[in-house]
Chain A
């Protein structure tokens, strides 16, 4: 009944790992051929893979795990999806009903443990309810502000010897749940009036705009507004990065021009973004002169950290459509020419302290390989069209800064929770969704070792992902903070020559490994890796271990105060 309901819901793929309490379900999987099950090597990998699948496709990821350790191993992945509002349904086996509360073998209170990191959760108390619960779970996971939903199923609820009438509900009807969809017109009119009178507007778009599939609407809006636009780490790709009005990412490691524009703006149009601490730095010093228009589907995200002057609740896609419509009716009042001084100010910022795109021109072997240059080469070789997953740390920031995403859902990373180990399994999820597309995992030697067992899954299912291991032989971001704030005391951020031989490791999992140590080999070896279309290639690139990520906001200060290099501050 569970499998039938999942099929009727449109599920094509489940990532999971079997175990005692889930065995009835696994037997049902064996006896059907409509849904594919992917056997991972660790439940965390299953959740990240389903998460990557969901981020790339927009469809909910589905995970199946057993009770106890299966369930607890899934928690990190559920929390990752929760923080980034990713639709996911996690089905966890549970010990049989009569054993619940008796400390039975592999019993854990999954509903209790997962409660703070799920949008909602269900326990199946009556097998007859399974179709209704599945329908509701997918509806909750995908509607409003998306998020993970857990369904805990005691083993006796899936016993094969019991039969029930089956009917899959057409619609989920939850009387207490009503996410906003259409915005209120009076708020739209206030927003348009503010837009018309602004002289220094900035559009600040985040992951919510991607979740709402608002690419077309955002582009259309800015064809009229001609305003500068910045994206959060989660929002990269929602506006073409190669567009002349794109400022780059903002925040902690945002570009100089993006942070300066935000600080000096007289109007910030926040679209599906939540003013988190990596963006605002010190909220009391944040953008002192800006009026804030905030478009969001979640009431609790608005005026949580920065007070919004105009709040527009609704699906941001619909809110943007409404703004475009109202704006078009008032086009005579809108003069994009008046933004000229603002654009020239931004151009000046951009040229004075822009990111250094010319880094890779100095590639003699006298210099160590720069991590930024690795990302630039990958960008050029893949023509900017690859799906790029990343882990967490310096390499993540370099990838976000130097790989320019022109389309949404191509940049897959753990923004909110910052989960090391996310990149490889997420790349698997993307590759299952788009087997003919190039999928690159930009990672570091720290992160990759947190879920490296999934190399085995990649071999079993023949997933020719390209792994670019930016190897600085240290936990780079930790080390950078220790350099900057702790007098260079590198407490537990290096491995004392204990790193494995990644090439042999990749080979033992059945893949190809390529080691790059010299600048003169960089381009050619990367090209070689990408030319092996049907192989997973693990590229281990040794980069300058002393390199830091810049710009970097000065702690607890405003957005105009940044470190631009090790010894230069704004």
Chain B
């Protein structure tokens, strides 16, 4: 069990955060720390805008950081479960990123 960090870019919609937190509880994962910020500097996420063919607006998306103690295989499962949440646009750990359902081999967030 190593401490790991997950980063998510998600829609800033009512109930979106509780879906993430609820998923951790429901699947028996533990949250060590959690941090949420509205994204104001969109330049970092241009690649997401391009991929999604969209333009982010003020207050539309949030960046969420979670740290948790888990094994490798569980980490993969958590990533996949988070990727399934409809409001999650992208989620990554140290090695991989799910961007709109597509798995990429690097941490882009």
Contacts and interface: CB of A to CB of B under 8 A. Distances in A.
B83 A299 contact: yes
Contacts of B54: 175
Contact of B84 (A111, A121, A123, A300): A300
A199 B47 CA distance: 46
A174 interface: yes
B100 A123 contact: no
A176 interface: yes
A176 B88 contact: yes
B61 to A, nearest CB: 9
A115 B81 contact: no
Given A119-B86, A140-B86, A299-B83, A177 B14 contact: no
Interface residues of B, number: 27
Contacts of B77: 300, 304
B91 to A, nearest CB: 11
Nearest to A298: B84
B86 A120 contact: yes
A116 interface: yes
A267 B88 CA distance: 35
B80 A112 contact: no
Interface string A294-335: 000011100110000000000000000000000000000000
Interface in A108-160: 111-112, 115-116, 119-121, 123, 125, 140
A169 to B, nearest CB: 16
A180 to B, nearest CB: 6
Contacts of A111: 15
Contact of B14 (A123, A299, A303): A123
Nearest to B87: A176
Taking each of A112, A174, A176, A303, which has the highest tally of chain B beta carbons within 10 Å of its own beta carbon? A176
A178 interface: yes
B81 A176 contact: no
A19 interface: no
A179 interface: yes
Interface string A329-349: 000000000000000000000
Contacts of B10: 176
A174 B87 CA distance: 9
Contacts of A174: 86
A448 to B, nearest CB: 31
A115 B24 CA distance: 13
Nearest to B9: A176
Contact of A299 (B15, B18, B88, B103): B103
Contacts of A176: 10-11, 52, 86-89, 100
B14 A178 contact: no
Contacts of A179: 101
Contacts of A298: 84
Interface in B34-91: 52-54, 73, 76-77, 80-81, 83-84, 86-89
Interface in A78-127: 111-112, 115-116, 119-121, 123, 125
Contacts of B84: 298-300
Contacts of A116: 22, 26
Nearest to B86: A120
B86 A112 contact: no
Nearest to A119: B86
B2 interface: no
B15 A123 contact: yes
Contacts of A125: 14
Nearest to B54: A175
B11 to A, nearest CB: 6
Interface in B82-109: 83-84, 86-89, 98, 100-103
Interface string B1-20: 00000000011001100110
A177 B15 contact: no
B15 to A, nearest CB: 6
A147 to B, nearest CB: 10
Contacts of B88: 176
A13 B11 CA distance: 33
Interface string A276-309: 0000000000000000000000111001100000
27 contacts: A111-B15, A115-B15, A115-B19, A115-B22, A116-B26, A119-B86, A140-B86, A174-B86, A175-B52, A175-B53, A175-B89, A176-B11, A176-B88, A176-B89, A177-B86, A177-B101, A178-B100, A179-B101, A298-B84, A299-B98, A300-B77, A300-B80, A300-B81, A300-B83, A300-B84, A303-B73, A303-B76
Given A111-B15, A115-B22, A299-B80, 20 more contacts: A115-B18, A116-B22, A119-B86, A123-B14, A123-B15, A174-B86, A175-B54, A175-B100, A176-B86, A176-B89, A177-B86, A177-B100, A177-B101, A178-B102, A179-B101, A299-B83, A299-B84, A300-B81, A303-B73, A303-B76
